[in-house]
A = this chain, B = another copy of it.
Amino acid sequence: MIPRYARPEMSAIWTPESKYGIWLEIETLAAEAMAEYGIIPADAAKAIRERGNFDVDRIDEIEREVKHDIIAFTTSVAEFVGEEARFLHKGLTSSDVLDTCLAVQLTRASDILLADMDALLESIKARAYEHKMTPTIGRSHGIHAEPTTFGVKLATYYAEFSRNKKRLEVAREEIATCALSGAVGTYANIDPRIEEYVAERLNLEPEPVSTQVIPRDRHAAFFSALGVIASSIERLATEIRHLQRTEVLEAEEFFSAGQKGSSAMPHKRNPVLTENLTGLARLVRSSVMPALENVALWHERDISHSSVERGIGPDATIHLDFALARLKGVMDGLIVYPDHMMANMDALGGLHNSQRVLLALVEAGCSREDAYRLVQRNAMKTWQERTPFADHLKADADVMAKLSTEKVDDLFDLDYHMKRVDHIFGRVFG
Protein backbone atom coordinates (compact mmCIF):
# COMPACT_ATOMS: atom_id res chain seq x y z
CA MET A 1 0.00 0.00 0.00
CA ILE A 2 1.38 3.39 -1.01
CA PRO A 3 0.64 5.95 1.75
CA ARG A 4 0.65 8.74 -0.81
CA TYR A 5 -2.44 7.23 -2.41
CA ALA A 6 -4.41 6.44 0.72
CA ARG A 7 -7.24 8.19 2.53
CA PRO A 8 -7.74 7.87 6.28
CA GLU A 9 -11.22 6.38 6.41
CA MET A 10 -10.42 3.49 4.10
CA SER A 11 -6.97 2.96 5.60
CA ALA A 12 -8.53 2.73 9.07
CA ILE A 13 -10.34 -0.46 8.04
CA TRP A 14 -7.05 -2.23 7.53
CA THR A 15 -5.11 -1.32 10.68
CA PRO A 16 -4.25 -4.01 13.24
CA GLU A 17 -6.50 -2.20 15.74
CA SER A 18 -9.43 -2.40 13.38
CA LYS A 19 -8.81 -6.07 12.65
CA TYR A 20 -8.52 -7.05 16.30
CA GLY A 21 -11.61 -5.01 17.08
CA ILE A 22 -13.59 -7.03 14.55
CA TRP A 23 -12.14 -10.29 15.86
CA LEU A 24 -13.26 -9.32 19.34
CA GLU A 25 -16.74 -8.50 18.15
CA ILE A 26 -17.02 -11.85 16.36
CA GLU A 27 -15.80 -13.76 19.43
CA THR A 28 -18.12 -11.78 21.67
CA LEU A 29 -21.15 -12.32 19.47
CA ALA A 30 -20.34 -16.02 19.23
CA ALA A 31 -20.16 -16.19 23.02
CA GLU A 32 -23.46 -14.37 23.35
CA ALA A 33 -25.04 -16.75 20.88
CA MET A 34 -23.71 -19.75 22.81
CA ALA A 35 -25.09 -18.27 26.01
CA GLU A 36 -28.43 -17.75 24.33
CA TYR A 37 -28.54 -21.40 23.29
CA GLY A 38 -27.35 -22.61 26.67
CA ILE A 39 -23.97 -23.79 25.44
CA ILE A 40 -21.93 -21.58 27.74
CA PRO A 41 -22.97 -19.76 30.92
CA ALA A 42 -24.70 -16.42 30.41
CA ASP A 43 -22.25 -14.83 32.85
CA ALA A 44 -19.33 -15.80 30.71
CA ALA A 45 -20.80 -14.06 27.66
CA LYS A 46 -21.55 -11.04 29.79
CA ALA A 47 -17.99 -10.92 31.11
CA ILE A 48 -16.60 -11.20 27.59
CA ARG A 49 -18.83 -8.39 26.38
CA GLU A 50 -18.04 -6.15 29.33
CA ARG A 51 -14.37 -6.72 29.91
CA GLY A 52 -13.32 -7.90 26.46
CA ASN A 53 -10.35 -5.93 25.19
CA PHE A 54 -6.92 -6.44 23.65
CA ASP A 55 -3.46 -4.93 23.55
CA VAL A 56 -1.75 -4.79 20.17
CA ASP A 57 1.81 -4.81 21.52
CA ARG A 58 0.98 -7.71 23.80
CA ILE A 59 -0.48 -9.64 20.87
CA ASP A 60 2.71 -9.05 18.88
CA GLU A 61 4.76 -10.26 21.79
CA ILE A 62 2.78 -13.46 22.20
CA GLU A 63 2.70 -14.12 18.49
CA ARG A 64 6.48 -14.01 18.28
CA GLU A 65 6.39 -16.89 20.75
CA VAL A 66 3.52 -19.09 19.58
CA LYS A 67 3.58 -18.13 15.89
CA HIS A 68 -0.22 -18.24 15.71
CA ASP A 69 -2.09 -14.97 15.43
CA ILE A 70 -5.48 -16.12 16.74
CA ILE A 71 -3.97 -17.82 19.81
CA ALA A 72 -1.95 -14.67 20.50
CA PHE A 73 -5.10 -12.63 20.24
CA THR A 74 -7.29 -14.80 22.49
CA THR A 75 -4.51 -14.91 25.06
CA SER A 76 -4.39 -11.13 25.14
CA VAL A 77 -8.18 -10.92 25.42
CA ALA A 78 -8.12 -13.49 28.22
CA GLU A 79 -5.81 -11.24 30.18
CA PHE A 80 -8.57 -8.64 30.19
CA VAL A 81 -11.56 -10.93 30.63
CA GLY A 82 -10.19 -13.19 33.30
CA GLU A 83 -11.37 -16.66 34.21
CA GLU A 84 -14.46 -16.64 31.94
CA ALA A 85 -12.16 -16.37 28.96
CA ARG A 86 -12.06 -20.13 28.75
CA PHE A 87 -15.45 -19.95 27.03
CA LEU A 88 -13.96 -17.74 24.38
CA HIS A 89 -13.54 -19.19 20.88
CA LYS A 90 -15.34 -22.41 21.92
CA GLY A 91 -15.75 -24.76 18.96
CA LEU A 92 -14.46 -22.14 16.54
CA THR A 93 -11.56 -22.59 14.21
CA SER A 94 -9.20 -19.73 13.45
CA SER A 95 -10.48 -19.28 9.93
CA ASP A 96 -14.00 -18.78 11.24
CA VAL A 97 -12.78 -15.57 12.82
CA LEU A 98 -10.31 -14.57 10.10
CA ASP A 99 -12.63 -15.05 7.17
CA THR A 100 -15.63 -13.46 8.81
CA CYS A 101 -13.42 -10.53 9.74
CA LEU A 102 -12.29 -10.19 6.13
CA ALA A 103 -15.95 -10.16 5.12
CA VAL A 104 -16.60 -7.31 7.54
CA GLN A 105 -13.58 -5.39 6.26
CA LEU A 106 -14.47 -5.87 2.63
CA THR A 107 -18.10 -4.87 3.15
CA ARG A 108 -17.00 -1.74 5.00
CA ALA A 109 -14.56 -1.02 2.20
CA SER A 110 -17.35 -1.58 -0.30
CA ASP A 111 -19.57 0.89 1.49
CA ILE A 112 -16.91 3.56 1.21
CA LEU A 113 -16.36 2.74 -2.44
CA LEU A 114 -20.10 2.91 -3.07
CA ALA A 115 -20.22 6.34 -1.49
CA ASP A 116 -17.23 7.37 -3.62
CA MET A 117 -19.11 6.15 -6.63
CA ASP A 118 -22.20 8.17 -5.71
CA ALA A 119 -20.13 11.31 -5.31
CA LEU A 120 -18.40 10.71 -8.62
CA LEU A 121 -21.70 10.05 -10.38
CA GLU A 122 -23.13 13.24 -8.95
CA SER A 123 -20.14 15.19 -10.18
CA ILE A 124 -20.23 13.70 -13.68
CA LYS A 125 -23.95 14.34 -13.88
CA ALA A 126 -23.59 17.98 -12.90
CA ARG A 127 -20.91 18.56 -15.52
CA ALA A 128 -22.92 16.62 -18.09
CA TYR A 129 -25.97 18.85 -17.59
CA GLU A 130 -23.78 21.93 -17.58
CA HIS A 131 -22.46 20.94 -20.99
CA LYS A 132 -25.50 19.15 -22.27
CA MET A 133 -25.58 21.30 -25.38
CA THR A 134 -21.91 22.26 -25.66
CA PRO A 135 -20.98 21.14 -29.15
CA THR A 136 -17.76 19.26 -29.63
CA ILE A 137 -16.39 17.01 -32.30
CA GLY A 138 -16.83 13.29 -31.82
CA ARG A 139 -13.71 11.34 -32.65
CA SER A 140 -13.12 7.80 -33.71
CA HIS A 141 -9.55 6.54 -34.09
CA GLY A 142 -8.47 9.92 -32.73
CA ILE A 143 -9.74 11.45 -35.97
CA HIS A 144 -12.62 13.88 -36.25
CA ALA A 145 -15.86 12.09 -37.05
CA GLU A 146 -19.14 13.92 -36.47
CA PRO A 147 -20.33 16.44 -33.89
CA THR A 148 -21.69 15.48 -30.52
CA THR A 149 -21.93 17.42 -27.27
CA PHE A 150 -19.62 17.38 -24.34
CA GLY A 151 -22.64 16.51 -22.21
CA VAL A 152 -23.28 13.38 -24.26
CA LYS A 153 -19.65 12.39 -23.90
CA LEU A 154 -19.95 12.75 -20.14
CA ALA A 155 -23.24 10.85 -20.16
CA THR A 156 -21.36 7.79 -21.41
CA TYR A 157 -19.19 7.94 -18.30
CA TYR A 158 -22.21 8.40 -16.09
CA ALA A 159 -23.79 5.30 -17.59
CA GLU A 160 -20.53 3.38 -17.26
CA PHE A 161 -20.04 4.29 -13.62
CA SER A 162 -23.68 3.50 -12.91
CA ARG A 163 -22.97 0.02 -14.19
CA ASN A 164 -19.86 -0.06 -12.07
CA LYS A 165 -21.87 0.86 -9.03
CA LYS A 166 -24.19 -2.03 -9.70
CA ARG A 167 -21.21 -4.32 -10.17
CA LEU A 168 -19.81 -3.16 -6.88
CA GLU A 169 -23.11 -3.82 -5.15
CA VAL A 170 -23.10 -7.33 -6.52
CA ALA A 171 -19.45 -7.74 -5.53
CA ARG A 172 -20.25 -6.56 -2.02
CA GLU A 173 -22.97 -9.17 -1.77
CA GLU A 174 -20.53 -11.80 -2.99
CA ILE A 175 -18.20 -11.35 -0.05
CA ALA A 176 -20.73 -10.47 2.65
CA THR A 177 -20.90 -13.92 4.20
CA CYS A 178 -20.11 -15.31 7.61
CA ALA A 179 -18.70 -18.77 8.30
CA LEU A 180 -18.51 -20.28 11.78
CA SER A 181 -18.44 -23.90 10.78
CA GLY A 182 -15.40 -25.43 12.45
CA ALA A 183 -12.22 -27.15 11.33
CA VAL A 184 -13.51 -28.65 8.10
CA GLY A 185 -16.90 -27.01 7.78
CA THR A 186 -18.98 -29.82 9.28
CA TYR A 187 -20.27 -27.94 12.33
CA ALA A 188 -19.16 -30.96 14.33
CA ASN A 189 -18.27 -28.81 17.32
CA ILE A 190 -20.40 -25.76 16.69
CA ASP A 191 -24.12 -25.39 16.31
CA PRO A 192 -25.07 -23.75 12.98
CA ARG A 193 -27.34 -21.42 14.94
CA ILE A 194 -24.24 -19.67 16.28
CA GLU A 195 -23.27 -18.81 12.74
CA GLU A 196 -26.75 -17.51 11.99
CA TYR A 197 -26.78 -15.41 15.13
CA VAL A 198 -23.42 -13.81 14.45
CA ALA A 199 -24.11 -13.35 10.75
CA GLU A 200 -27.33 -11.49 11.42
CA ARG A 201 -25.69 -9.06 13.83
CA LEU A 202 -22.83 -8.39 11.44
CA ASN A 203 -25.22 -7.88 8.52
CA LEU A 204 -23.74 -10.85 6.74
CA GLU A 205 -25.32 -13.94 5.24
CA PRO A 206 -24.35 -17.35 6.61
CA GLU A 207 -22.10 -19.11 4.11
CA PRO A 208 -24.22 -22.04 2.85
CA VAL A 209 -21.32 -24.45 2.91
CA SER A 210 -17.76 -23.67 3.84
CA THR A 211 -14.71 -25.90 3.95
CA GLN A 212 -12.39 -24.54 6.57
CA VAL A 213 -12.70 -21.23 4.81
CA ILE A 214 -15.14 -19.08 2.95
CA PRO A 215 -14.72 -20.10 -0.69
CA ARG A 216 -12.34 -17.86 -2.63
CA ASP A 217 -14.37 -17.68 -5.83
CA ARG A 218 -16.25 -14.96 -3.94
CA HIS A 219 -13.13 -12.89 -3.47
CA ALA A 220 -12.02 -13.52 -7.03
CA ALA A 221 -15.32 -12.08 -8.23
CA PHE A 222 -14.91 -9.15 -5.86
CA PHE A 223 -11.44 -8.16 -7.03
CA SER A 224 -12.42 -8.69 -10.65
CA ALA A 225 -15.15 -6.11 -10.16
CA LEU A 226 -12.58 -3.68 -8.77
CA GLY A 227 -10.47 -4.36 -11.84
CA VAL A 228 -13.32 -3.41 -14.15
CA ILE A 229 -13.95 -0.21 -12.20
CA ALA A 230 -10.27 0.65 -12.37
CA SER A 231 -10.39 0.22 -16.12
CA SER A 232 -13.31 2.63 -16.36
CA ILE A 233 -11.32 5.13 -14.35
CA GLU A 234 -8.57 4.69 -16.88
CA ARG A 235 -11.00 5.43 -19.71
CA LEU A 236 -12.14 8.72 -18.23
CA ALA A 237 -8.61 9.66 -17.21
CA THR A 238 -7.38 8.93 -20.72
CA GLU A 239 -10.13 11.10 -22.19
CA ILE A 240 -9.08 14.06 -20.08
CA ARG A 241 -5.42 13.55 -20.86
CA HIS A 242 -6.34 13.66 -24.54
CA LEU A 243 -8.48 16.75 -24.15
CA GLN A 244 -5.68 18.55 -22.35
CA ARG A 245 -3.05 17.91 -25.02
CA THR A 246 -1.49 21.16 -26.18
CA GLU A 247 -2.96 20.85 -29.65
CA VAL A 248 -6.45 19.95 -28.45
CA LEU A 249 -6.90 21.84 -25.18
CA GLU A 250 -10.65 21.37 -24.93
CA ALA A 251 -10.48 20.78 -21.20
CA GLU A 252 -7.92 20.97 -18.47
CA GLU A 253 -7.41 19.75 -14.95
CA PHE A 254 -7.83 22.53 -12.43
CA PHE A 255 -4.51 24.20 -11.78
CA SER A 256 -4.32 25.69 -8.32
CA ALA A 257 -2.87 29.12 -7.72
CA GLY A 258 0.82 28.79 -6.96
CA GLN A 259 1.07 25.29 -8.39
CA LYS A 260 4.10 24.78 -10.61
CA GLY A 261 3.95 22.56 -13.63
CA SER A 262 7.63 22.91 -14.20
CA SER A 263 10.45 24.73 -12.49
CA ALA A 264 11.55 26.30 -15.73
CA MET A 265 8.69 26.27 -18.23
CA PRO A 266 5.80 28.45 -17.12
CA HIS A 267 3.57 27.27 -19.95
CA LYS A 268 3.50 23.73 -18.57
CA ARG A 269 0.16 22.68 -17.11
CA ASN A 270 0.27 18.92 -17.13
CA PRO A 271 -2.63 16.50 -16.62
CA VAL A 272 -0.76 14.91 -13.74
CA LEU A 273 -3.84 13.81 -11.83
CA THR A 274 -5.32 11.82 -14.67
CA GLU A 275 -1.93 10.41 -15.56
CA ASN A 276 -1.67 9.32 -11.97
CA LEU A 277 -5.12 7.74 -12.22
CA THR A 278 -3.97 5.81 -15.27
CA GLY A 279 -1.17 4.33 -13.21
CA LEU A 280 -3.42 3.60 -10.26
CA ALA A 281 -5.76 1.76 -12.60
CA ARG A 282 -2.89 -0.55 -13.53
CA LEU A 283 -2.11 -1.13 -9.87
CA VAL A 284 -5.69 -1.95 -8.89
CA ARG A 285 -6.02 -4.20 -11.90
CA SER A 286 -2.93 -6.12 -10.86
CA SER A 287 -4.91 -7.64 -7.97
CA VAL A 288 -7.19 -9.57 -10.31
CA MET A 289 -4.83 -12.34 -11.38
CA PRO A 290 -3.61 -13.28 -7.88
CA ALA A 291 -7.23 -13.23 -6.70
CA LEU A 292 -8.11 -15.67 -9.48
CA GLU A 293 -5.12 -17.84 -8.62
CA ASN A 294 -6.29 -17.93 -5.01
CA VAL A 295 -9.44 -19.89 -5.86
CA ALA A 296 -7.95 -23.35 -6.28
CA LEU A 297 -6.93 -23.98 -2.67
CA TRP A 298 -6.05 -27.57 -1.86
CA HIS A 299 -8.76 -29.76 -0.35
CA GLU A 300 -10.53 -28.07 2.55
CA ARG A 301 -8.02 -25.20 2.32
CA ASP A 302 -4.39 -24.33 2.19
CA ILE A 303 -3.08 -21.02 3.40
CA SER A 304 -1.51 -19.69 0.20
CA HIS A 305 -4.32 -17.14 -0.23
CA SER A 306 -3.46 -15.46 3.04
CA SER A 307 -0.32 -13.56 2.05
CA VAL A 308 -1.95 -12.56 -1.21
CA GLU A 309 -4.92 -11.06 0.60
CA ARG A 310 -2.72 -9.26 3.12
CA GLY A 311 -1.46 -7.44 0.04
CA ILE A 312 -4.39 -7.01 -2.31
CA GLY A 313 -7.06 -6.55 0.36
CA PRO A 314 -5.82 -3.19 1.58
CA ASP A 315 -4.00 -2.20 -1.61
CA ALA A 316 -6.84 -2.58 -4.08
CA THR A 317 -9.51 -1.00 -1.86
CA ILE A 318 -7.34 1.84 -0.58
CA HIS A 319 -6.01 2.79 -3.99
CA LEU A 320 -9.38 2.49 -5.64
CA ASP A 321 -10.95 4.69 -2.98
CA PHE A 322 -8.22 7.25 -3.51
CA ALA A 323 -8.61 7.05 -7.26
CA LEU A 324 -12.38 7.48 -7.20
CA ALA A 325 -12.08 10.48 -4.92
CA ARG A 326 -9.31 11.99 -7.02
CA LEU A 327 -11.35 11.46 -10.16
CA LYS A 328 -14.33 13.18 -8.58
CA GLY A 329 -12.07 16.11 -7.72
CA VAL A 330 -10.80 16.23 -11.28
CA MET A 331 -14.35 16.25 -12.61
CA ASP A 332 -15.49 18.94 -10.19
CA GLY A 333 -12.62 21.20 -11.08
CA LEU A 334 -12.33 20.39 -14.76
CA ILE A 335 -11.89 23.55 -16.81
CA VAL A 336 -13.83 23.19 -20.05
CA TYR A 337 -13.11 25.31 -23.10
CA PRO A 338 -16.22 25.39 -25.33
CA ASP A 339 -14.55 27.87 -27.65
CA HIS A 340 -11.62 25.57 -28.23
CA MET A 341 -14.06 22.75 -28.87
CA MET A 342 -15.76 24.83 -31.51
CA ALA A 343 -12.46 25.98 -33.00
CA ASN A 344 -11.18 22.42 -33.26
CA MET A 345 -14.41 21.27 -34.84
CA ASP A 346 -14.26 24.05 -37.40
CA ALA A 347 -10.64 23.47 -38.24
CA LEU A 348 -11.57 21.06 -41.04
CA GLY A 349 -13.89 23.59 -42.69
CA GLY A 350 -17.09 21.72 -41.93
CA LEU A 351 -15.92 18.41 -43.39
CA HIS A 352 -17.70 16.55 -40.61
CA ASN A 353 -20.91 17.14 -42.55
CA SER A 354 -19.74 15.15 -45.55
CA GLN A 355 -22.05 12.26 -44.73
CA ARG A 356 -25.05 14.56 -44.57
CA VAL A 357 -24.23 16.07 -47.97
CA LEU A 358 -23.87 12.61 -49.39
CA LEU A 359 -27.27 11.54 -48.05
CA ALA A 360 -28.88 14.76 -49.33
CA LEU A 361 -27.50 14.15 -52.82
CA VAL A 362 -28.83 10.60 -52.78
CA GLU A 363 -32.20 11.85 -51.65
CA ALA A 364 -32.09 14.41 -54.43
CA GLY A 365 -31.78 11.57 -56.90
CA CYS A 366 -28.07 10.95 -57.27
CA SER A 367 -26.86 7.41 -57.30
CA ARG A 368 -24.78 6.65 -54.25
CA GLU A 369 -21.67 6.28 -56.40
CA ASP A 370 -22.11 9.67 -58.06
CA ALA A 371 -22.92 11.32 -54.76
CA TYR A 372 -19.80 9.89 -53.19
CA ARG A 373 -17.68 11.19 -56.05
CA LEU A 374 -19.17 14.67 -55.83
CA VAL A 375 -18.70 14.86 -52.11
CA GLN A 376 -15.21 13.51 -52.21
CA ARG A 377 -13.86 15.95 -54.78
CA ASN A 378 -15.01 18.89 -52.71
CA ALA A 379 -13.89 17.30 -49.48
CA MET A 380 -10.41 16.84 -50.87
CA LYS A 381 -10.17 20.52 -51.78
CA THR A 382 -11.34 21.46 -48.32
CA TRP A 383 -8.81 19.14 -46.75
CA GLN A 384 -5.96 20.60 -48.75
CA GLU A 385 -6.90 24.27 -48.56
CA ARG A 386 -8.62 24.27 -45.15
CA THR A 387 -11.24 26.56 -46.64
CA PRO A 388 -14.97 26.04 -45.94
CA PHE A 389 -16.41 22.87 -47.35
CA ALA A 390 -19.74 24.65 -47.99
CA ASP A 391 -18.02 27.20 -50.23
CA HIS A 392 -16.54 24.46 -52.37
CA LEU A 393 -19.89 22.74 -52.67
CA LYS A 394 -21.61 25.95 -53.64
CA ALA A 395 -18.98 26.53 -56.30
CA ASP A 396 -19.54 23.08 -57.78
CA ALA A 397 -22.13 23.22 -60.52
CA ASP A 398 -22.87 19.49 -60.38
CA VAL A 399 -23.68 19.74 -56.72
CA MET A 400 -25.77 22.84 -57.14
CA ALA A 401 -27.74 21.12 -59.88
CA LYS A 402 -29.12 18.94 -57.12
CA LEU A 403 -29.07 21.14 -54.05
CA SER A 404 -30.10 24.74 -53.45
CA THR A 405 -27.87 27.15 -51.58
CA GLU A 406 -30.32 27.10 -48.70
CA LYS A 407 -30.26 23.33 -48.65
CA VAL A 408 -26.47 23.36 -48.49
CA ASP A 409 -26.56 25.81 -45.62
CA ASP A 410 -29.13 23.61 -43.91
CA LEU A 411 -26.76 20.67 -44.15
CA PHE A 412 -24.22 22.56 -42.11
CA ASP A 413 -26.66 23.19 -39.30
CA LEU A 414 -25.03 21.96 -36.12
CA ASP A 415 -28.36 21.47 -34.38
CA TYR A 416 -29.02 18.53 -36.64
CA HIS A 417 -26.46 16.53 -34.65
CA MET A 418 -27.90 17.57 -31.32
CA LYS A 419 -31.54 16.76 -31.86
CA ARG A 420 -31.46 13.50 -29.85
CA VAL A 421 -29.50 14.80 -26.91
CA ASP A 422 -32.66 15.10 -24.85
CA HIS A 423 -33.57 11.56 -25.71
CA ILE A 424 -30.14 10.31 -24.69
CA PHE A 425 -30.17 12.25 -21.44
CA GLY A 426 -33.59 10.80 -20.72
CA ARG A 427 -32.23 7.30 -21.15
CA VAL A 428 -29.17 7.88 -19.02
CA PHE A 429 -30.33 10.16 -16.27
CA GLY A 430 -33.97 9.10 -16.22
- Whether A215 pairs with B156 at a CB distance below 8 angstroms is yes
Query: A241 at interface (Cβ–Cβ under 8 A)?
Result: yes
Kindly state whether residue A271 has any CB partner on chain B within 8 Å.
yes
- Which of B65, B278, B306, B416 is the one whose CB lies under 8 Å from A188? B416
Determine the chain B residues whose CB is within 8 A of the CB of A231 once the complex forms.
217, 220, 292-293, 295-296
Q: Is A127 an interface residue (CB 8 A)?
A: no
A186 / chain B contacts, CB cutoff of 8 Å: 138, 146-148, 152, 417-418, 420-421, 424
Chain B hits for A227, CB < 8 A: 220, 224, 288, 292
Which residues on B sit within 8 Å (CB–CB) of A382? 267
Give residues of chain A (386-430) contacting chain B, Cβ–Cβ below 8 Å. Answer: 416-421, 423-424, 427-428
Instruction: Decide: A148 and B300 in contact? CB cutoff 8 A.
Output: yes
Please determine whether B295 and A228 come into contact, CB atoms closer than 8 angstroms: yes
Q: Is A123 located at the chain interface by the 8 A CB criterion?
A: no
22 contacts between A and B (CB under 8 A): A67-B256, A138-B300, A143-B245, A156-B185, A156-B210, A167-B221, A186-B418, A187-B423, A188-B416, A188-B419, A189-B356, A220-B227, A221-B228, A228-B292, A235-B296, A238-B298, A245-B247, A247-B248, A266-B379, A279-B303, A283-B312, A286-B287
Stretch of A1-9, A24-32, A47-55, A107-115 on the interface side? A1-9
Contacts of A295 in B (CB 8 A): 228, 231-232, 234-235
A380 at the A/B interface (Cβ < 8 Å)?
yes
Contact-size category for A: 35 or more
Smallest CB gap from A377: residue in B: B266
Which residues from B are CB-within-8-Å of A164? Answer: 217
**A100–B419 Cα gap in the complex (Å)?**
24
Does A297 touch B at the CB level, under 8 Å?
yes
Question: Is B290 a contact partner of A289 (Cβ separation < 8 A)?
Answer: no
Which interface residue of A70, A137, A217, A269 has the most chain B CB atoms within 10 A? A217
Contact at B217–A163, with CB atoms within 8 Å? yes
Main secondary structure of the interface of A (DSSP, over half): helix
User: Can you name the residue of chain B whose Cβ is closest to the Cβ of A91?
Assistant: B359
Q: Which of B145, B152, B209, B283 contacts A212 (CB 8 A)?
A: B145
**Cβ of A153: which chain B residues have Cβ within 8 Å of it?**
211, 300
Residue of B nearest to A322 (CB): B307
Complex CA–CA separation, A310 to B4 (angstroms): 9
Given contacts A187-B420, A293-B293, contact A218 B142 (CB under 8 A): no
Q: Is A242 an interface residue (CB 8 A)?
A: yes
Residues of chain B lying within 8 A (CB to CB) of residue A294: 279, 282
CB contact between A71 and one of B263, B271, B275, B358 (< 8 Å): that residue: B263
From the candidates B5, B228, B264, B355, name the one contacting A224 in the complex (CB within 8 A).
B228
